[in-house]
Chains A and B, each alone.
Chain A
Amino acid sequence: MPWQCRAKKIFTQFLLSARENDGRLEFKLIWNNGSIMGLLSKQQNTWLASLADWQKFALAALLCAAMTLIAVPLFGHLDLANIVMLFLLTVLLVAVTLGLKPALLAAFLSVALFDFFFVPPRFSFAVHDAQYLITFAVMLAVAIITGELTAGLRRQADESDTEAMRTRALYEMARDLAGTLTVEQIAEITRKFQRQVLNAEATILLPDGTGGLQPCVGQEAARLQIEPRLAIIAFEGGASVNCSQLVDSGYAVLYLPLKAPMRVRGVIAVAPVDGDADRLLGQRERLETMASLAAIAIERVHYVDVAQNTQVQVVSERLRSSILSALSHDLRTPLTALVGLADSLTVSKPPLAANALETAEAIREQAERLAGLVGNLLDMARLHAGEVTLQKEWQPVEEVIGASIKLLGRALAEHPVKVALAKDFPLLEFDAVLIERVFCNLLENAAKYSPPGSPIEIAVRADEGKAEISVGDSGRGFTPGNSHPVFEMFVRGEAESTTPGVGLGLAISRAIVEAHGGTISAANRPQGGASVSFTLPLGNPPPVIEEEIAHEALGLEHRP
């Protein structure tokens, strides 16, 4: 039996809610009554709701007339008190089904009919016994009280119906949002919800990256006017802002921040379609729930984007890196063979003729230079591809200077290198392999652009939290006023020159130094010649605990 099931369900629901929520027992009781009334009214709604007011009154009158027809034959068999009960029942039924006003009509009609047909003297409105006046008063009171009660309950039922509908809509919105892939979809769903459920117009505003807020793509067409300052206040303050005066000029009245777990993702501006700002502000709690649902969806979409981008980046980086290493291998292998084969000619026995020997040496030299260029190009490609991760360690700078000088070997044979460096200069944190490249490039340049036999000077000094390292030569120096472009790729100090090189060295040096958080600059020295200086941050080197028994442990006199 459906009604039994329903009753059982309502009863259980009532018990459950009472147990869970003692403080709100009363409310739940009303709620459940509301549900009953809701059910009732829903069944009647089919035809009762369609009745106009006059039809309701007519129906009430008809019911009273019918009751009189039923009661008249019973006169004589029943007490007058019981006949009154029948009329009372009629009033009650009308009150429950048709509402307060038809019930009042029914009450007056019942009193009149009862008086006319049953109260002696019959068939007249005169009343002999004054006590019947009490009967009339009770009937009226019953009609009014029942009508009021029913109307109240029905109102509650209607409200809870609307409430349920809105909650359902909110759930549906949450469900729809869970499936969205773009912010535009989120904006559209939010807008639909606002229009259908709250009879309001809404626009989502997203930060445009320059401190302002812009309507989400695809929503520009919305006729909603936005007051940007209020939107910014809501966005930055993370609290909703409202201004109901704006409603008349067609502006959005409520600006809700889209507060997601990580941060505020934007603002949603809402305006009532019917111009009733107070109604909308009364729905604030619901609006805030909706805003946080939208915010979470936007954040989810954002992180999906981030994850996708990262994946694309990882794949493209892997590709780039594998291309680079393949290129590096394929270019270096023949160069290694070339250098080695040419070199083996120069040392072959019996020795080659002087002429051929010179050629073999030239081949070797050229191949080595080519290898150097390829190395520079690959380094540059690596640095540009962002593939280089710095292996920074604390170390004395003189070590890498010494290693660079040793590495260049023959190229520096004609230039004595002087190093000016304080004995207790602090350790610096850098990637030794890369800074060695910088020194090699600078020293090679210095040697290339200065006359044979002239010294190359390296000076290291500390200056305001950074170490400044300069490499100076005694050559012609840079063309004045043109010192910066030499750090660009393929720019050389002397445009038309027989001195070899493609100008990658300084560009690589700059990339390396900047990756270390330093700067590089070129200048001409007052005493003549060029000087390239770069800086490295000094930082806080880790302490080195010196041995305590430093100077006595070892020595000639301590041993037998």
Chain B
Amino acid sequence: MSEAATKVLIIEDEKQIRRFVRAALEEEGCCVFEADTLAGGLLESGKQKPDLVVLDLGLPDGNGIDFIHQLRAWSDTPVLVLSARSHERDKIQALDVGADDYLTKPFGVGELIARTRALLRRQSRGGEAATPLIAFGDVQVDLARRVVTRGSEPVHLTPIEYRLLCALLANTGKVMTQRHLLREVWGAASVESNHYLRVYVGHLRQKLEDDPTQPKYLLTETGVGYRFQP
């Protein structure tokens, strides 16, 4: 059992936070390791080869972003960042250097479990081709045939809208920073025109969401980016 168990490394300097995160993850059947410093975290991640890292950005001996940098040099283990609200820049930076998702402090156990499950699921799917059919709400996307239908009606998307939708669908559950999406959809040249991205996300919502002002699937992470949540 312990061989097959999912290994999660928690790097957080506050003991009580480690404690409840550990309890929640163990409840999920994970095997949990802990570290309370950046150096300790690097050591443990090398030793245990975890399947997921839960990382606090403010560590006593350094910035969590440096940890992600160093980890990404040899591992693509998903990283879930814990960060305070009003630190949007830290979040973006963490995501840009390779973090997979973040949780804003304070957070509940429910949110924590949902995020870790999503990350682990994507991890276990790994490189194998995802299904070409993705459905959310009453929308069906056939990636193989490049067809989007809502109910039974076909939805007309412009090339940019389609590329944007694909970029979001390909990273289900993951926060995509604005920079990342702009680069992926418009190319490296247009990383400064954030308003394009916002306008096109608005178009997608109008075509695919029931109430574009209260989207259910194409979610805004204010100040950071977007997330597709089926």
Binding site for B on A (CB under 8 A): 328-329, 332-341, 343-344, 346-349, 364, 367-368, 371, 375, 378-379, 382, 391, 393-396, 398-403, 405-407, 417, 419, 421, 423, 427, 432-433, 436, 541-542, 544, 547, 549-551, 553-557, 559
Contacts and interface: CB of A to CB of B under 8 A. Distances in A.
B172 interface: no
B157 A402 contact: no
29 contacts: A329-B58, A329-B84, A336-B17, A337-B20, A338-B106, A340-B21, A343-B110, A344-B20, A347-B24, A367-B106, A368-B106, A371-B106, A382-B86, A395-B195, A395-B198, A398-B212, A400-B222, A401-B214, A403-B219, A407-B222, A419-B211, A419-B213, A427-B198, A544-B195, A544-B199, A549-B159, A554-B156, A554-B159, A555-B147
Contacts of B145: 559
B159 to A, nearest CB: 5
A204 B215 CA distance: 68
Given A347-B27, A432-B222, A340 B106 contact: yes
A394 B195 contact: yes
Given A433-B88, A559-B147, A332 B195 contact: no
Contacts of A405: 214
A346 B223 CA distance: 32
Q: Which 3 A-B pairs have the closest CB atoms?
A: A337-B16, A340-B20, A339-B106
Contacts of A371: 106
Given A333-B14, A402-B214, A427-B198, 9 more contacts: A334-B14, A378-B86, A400-B220, A402-B213, A402-B220, A403-B222, A432-B223, A553-B162, A557-B154
B19 interface: yes
Given A379-B86, A559-B145, A396 B108 contact: no
A396 B202 contact: yes
A542 B198 CA distance: 12
B193 to A, nearest CB: 7
Interface string B91-129: 000000000000001111110100000000000000000
Given A399-B202, A542-B193, A549-B159, A337 B220 contact: no
B43 interface: no
Determine which residue in A433, A550, A556 has the highest number of CB atoms from chain B within 10 A of its CB, and name it. Answer: A556
Contact of B202 (A398, A549, A559): A398
A336 B222 contact: no
Given A367-B106, A550-B158, A551-B156, A340 B17 contact: yes
B19 A341 contact: yes
B35 interface: no
B201 A399 contact: yes
Contact of B146 (A401, A407, A421, A554): A554
Given A399-B198, A400-B222, A544-B195, A333 B17 contact: yes
A393 B27 contact: no
Contacts of B106: 332, 335-336, 338-340, 367-368, 371
A188 to B, nearest CB: 52
B214 A554 contact: no
Contacts of B219: 403, 406
Contacts of B215: 402, 406
Given A339-B108, A393-B195, A544-B195, A556 B147 contact: yes
Given A400-B220, A402-B215, A332 B84 contact: yes
Given A334-B16, A339-B108, A349 B159 contact: no
B195 A399 contact: no
Nearest to A396: B202
A349 B27 contact: yes
B188 to A, nearest CB: 18
B148 interface: yes
Interface in B181-230: 193-196, 198-199, 201-202, 206, 211-215, 219-223
A407 B104 CA distance: 11
A396 B198 contact: yes
A336 B159 CA distance: 43
